[in-house]
């Protein structure tokens, strides 16, 4: 089970939008301090947003991460079923 989120989704979206719409781009540490979030959290949110928009190729998109999680759960379930069938035969 995943840990609970420290920051609400609305704050994440607002912070990323604020960074994206600013010209010139603000210093991430200063913006994070103003918003009351950790600078590395903000930096990660911005990177993930850029990946989701196709601006970065070094990170999987949110939809790819969700699909990977789903496939891993499905794989684990199939392995358990396979072990049960092997034990029963």
User: Which pLDDT tens digit goes with each residue over 8-44?
Assistant: 999 999 999 999 999 899 999 999 999 999 999 999 9
| C-alpha span between 4 and 39 (Å, rounded) | 19
Instruction: Give the right CATH number for 7-58 from 1.10.3210, 3.30.43, 1.10.10, 2.40.10.
Output: 1.10.10
CB proximity list for 85: less than 8 A, separation 6 or greater = none
Please, are residues 19 and 28 in contact by the beta-carbon 8 Å criterion?
yes
pTM score of the predicted model: 0.76
The pLDDT value recorded for residue 35 is: 95
């Amino acid at each position: 089970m995943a840990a609970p989120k420290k920051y609400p989704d609305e704050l994440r979206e607002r912070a990323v939008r604020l960074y994206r719409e600013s010209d010139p781009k603000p210093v991430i540490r200063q913006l994070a301090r103003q918003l009351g979030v950790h600078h590395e959290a903000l930096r990660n949110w911005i990177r993930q947003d850029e990946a989701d928009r196709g601006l970065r190729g070094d990170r999987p998109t949110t939809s790819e991460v969700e699909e990977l999680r789903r496939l891993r759960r499905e794989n684990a379930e199939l392995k358990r079923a396979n072990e049960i069938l092997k034990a029963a035969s």
